Structure 1
Amino acid sequence: MISEILQTLPQVLVDGLTLGAIYAVIALGYTMVYGILELINFAHGEIFMTGAFVGVAVLFFMSGAGWLAVMPAILALLIVLVVTSLVTGVLGMGIERVAYRPLRKAPKLITLISAIGVSFLLQDIVRFITEWKRGNYIVTGPQLFDSKIGLDFSSIWSHFNDAILKTSSVILLVSAILMMIGLDFFVNKSKWGMAMRSVAQDRDTAALMGINVNKVISLTFFIGSALGGATGVLFAMQYGTINPYIGFILGLKAFTAAVLGGIGNIRGAMFGGLLLGVLEMFASANLQKLTGGVFTAEYKDVFAFGILIIVLIFKPEGLFGKAVTEKV
């Protein structure tokens, strides 16, 4: 059994890191908003989904206009990412202004219900528009990158099998890493990032120091939503088929990744997403072997969430979170 697990390990790592990169970038949106507002923005998964549909719509437009045939694929992807990020960023700001800001002083449960309502609203709007335009809410978008790269792991160790890496996976990983590094630099080194950290630490004191709290919160929603939308484009490019309900389960797993790394901690969200992706792919490939056929690959989510429960039992604040002592 150990030998069989080792054989599949290279492909598990490749697929797991690809999926984990998606979880990690989506998790950043959850953890940024929670760090400042202590709000779980459950509509964030649907912003990711909306980004996937906006990106595919832009690709269909470019294909119909003949642009994809004459421009490099990487340039087309950059255009789609920029357009989608702007659309979803503005969408995130609008959601914050309409659905969250009026409830900022309301009980947390009320704001949570509002977030869930926005989530269902976005699902139905995207489904209605997609069915109206295409007659079906399941969409397969144009593929910009369809080549594959063979990775020779067997020469490193004879127990390993070779792995297949899609070009789209490389693009996804590089893009996700650049977005995560860029966000980390922005939050820790820029003036606006300092303002975000100040608001996260103490909103009232930050306002007394001259920081425009509403602008900082709007910027936080814009950045988190823009990253989520761009990740939706990368997801559509990687997996091909999208539907209005992909945001629910992916958003839930990304939220789990944020909690696993330490909710409110940006670097923790990155690590939690990558770890969750690798765990999920490991379970998908090996769970049947490990349990003697009792559990199959369909139970991979149970395995991943089981690991989360174990971590939170022994470290409730998450892997990178810090325990906070409340003063009474």
Structure 2
Amino acid sequence: MENFLQQLINGITLGSIYGLIAIGYTMVFGIIGMVNFAHGDVFMVSAFIALIIFLALTQLLGVSSIYVAIFIVLLASMLLTSLWNWTIERVAYRPLRGSFRLAPLISAIGMSIFLMNFVQAVQGPRNKPLPPMFNEVIHVTSGGAFDVTLAYKQIIIVAVTAVLLAGFWYLVQKTPLGRAQRAVEQDRRMAALLGIDVDRTVSITFVMGAALAAVAGTLYLVNYGVVSFSDGFTPGVKAFTAAVLGGIGSIPGAVLGGLMIGLIETLWAAYVSNDYKNVAAFSVLIIVLIFMPSGLLGKPEVEKV
């Protein structure tokens, strides 16, 4: 029982990171119907940005407070990653928006390869470590055969995910920007006729997705303490799987899917085999889509006539 509780805590932590990345996938797909396969590598770039800024603050500028440093890192990483993703949208996606449907997809795959190789060339192929932080733990149970611990950084990750989920849900559902995004999602041409700046709305959506990826990248770095140029592919694919599982286009569905993928991975690795945890996650996705093609919280697509 103690082992199950520990894996439950670990799965929720991992799933929260997947959920933050998945929101970026689901927002972009909901607005322009494109799968941004470079989003996972944007997440990886944000982790490197967070690492560089943190080392600059603590080792060059002498910032002694870890909490202050992480807060500055989070803000700077969100700003720089958003600027990076805005540039990607302007250069690689917007010129192809009126082209055939595969063109933006091919461009996204090309951008993903470019980002991964660019970071490899600049930072090198080796893992880049971060000094340990937030290592304090709360002993949920102790004295038995297996101690269940809850790390402070795990609490931070889950709390940040919950706050951002609520904030972005409110932004999309209750604000003028959210109404513009939902209008562009339903019919871009009609939205433009009604005075909505479609290009601006799409760009802001990419910026919002990048900001969430930056938060996920910073939390990933804090949780694991190491980042590599190849760390964008697997979490990116898992996050996309989470978005599809939860119902792509649904922000709560993206987080729910992320939590499910995280829990499936950790529980399968603990009780069955660590080698086949990815197979288990994708198998659950296939089973869910067979019976619920729109995902857990997704809405069936209505064909416009």
Question: Into which bin does the TM-score normalised by the smaller protein fall?
Answer: over 0.9
Between the aligned residues of both structures, percent identity stands at 42
Distance 1:187 1:171 in 2: 24
Compare 173-182 and 40-49 and name the one that shifted more: 173-182
Distance 2:69 2:168 in 1: 23
- Structure 2 letter corresponding to 1:97: R
Aligned to 2:33: 38
Contact 1:100 1:114 in 2 (8 A): yes
Root mean square deviation, CA, Å: 1.7
Aligned to 2:250: 265
Question: How has the CA–CA distance of structure 1 residues 103 and 153 changed in structure 2, closer, same or farther, with 3 Å as cutoff?
Answer: farther
Task: Find the partner of 1:177 among 153, 162, 172.
Answer: 162
Question: How has the CA–CA distance of structure 1 residues 202 and 62 changed in structure 2, closer, same or farther, with 3 Å as cutoff?
Answer: same
- Structure 2 letter corresponding to 1:88: T
- Structure 2 letter corresponding to 1:26: I
Q: C-alpha displacement at 1:327, in angstroms?
A: 5.7
Task: Find the partner of 1:250 among 235, 241, 251.
Answer: 235
SS, match of residue 246 in structure 1:
coil
Contact 2:2 2:148 in 1 (8 A): no
Aligned to 1:3: none
Aligned to 2:192: 207
Aligned to 1:297: 274
Alignment TM-score, normalising by the size of structure 1:
0.89
Alignment of 1:62-101 (within 5 A): 62-69=57-64, 71=65, 73-101=66-94
SS, match of residue 192 in structure 1:
helix
Deviations 1:209-248 (Å, cap 9, x if unpaired)?
1110111000000010111012101101100111011110
Asked if residue 148 in structure 1 is aligned to residue 137 in structure 2, the reply is yes
Q: C-alpha displacement at 1:153, in angstroms?
A: 8.3
Alignment of 1:298-313 (within 5 A): 298-313=275-290
Compare 79-88 and 193-202 and name the one that shifted more: 193-202
Asked if residue 139 in structure 1 is aligned to residue 128 in structure 2, the reply is yes
Asked if residue 217 in structure 1 is aligned to residue 215 in structure 2, the reply is no
Contact 1:10 1:161 in 2 (8 A): no
Alignment of 1:188-203 (within 5 A): 188-203=173-188
| Matched pairs, number | 305
Aligned to 1:323: 300
Question: How has the CA–CA distance of structure 1 residues 202 and 298 changed in structure 2, closer, same or farther, with 3 Å as cutoff?
Answer: same
Compare 19-28 and 265-274 and name the one that shifted more: 265-274
Contact 2:128 2:227 in 1 (8 A): yes
Deviations 1:233-267 (Å, cap 9, x if unpaired)?
11011001110111100000000000000111111
Distance 1:87 1:143 in 2: 24
Question: How has the CA–CA distance of structure 1 residues 138 and 207 changed in structure 2, closer, same or farther, with 3 Å as cutoff?
Answer: same
| Greater C-alpha radius of gyration | 1
Asked if residue 120 in structure 1 is aligned to residue 113 in structure 2, the reply is yes
Asked if residue 129 in structure 1 is aligned to residue 106 in structure 2, the reply is no
List gaps (5 residues or longer) in structure 2: none
Compare 164-173 and 252-261 and name the one that shifted more: 164-173
List gaps (5 residues or longer) in structure 1: 1-5, 288-295
Asked if residue 48 in structure 1 is aligned to residue 33 in structure 2, the reply is no
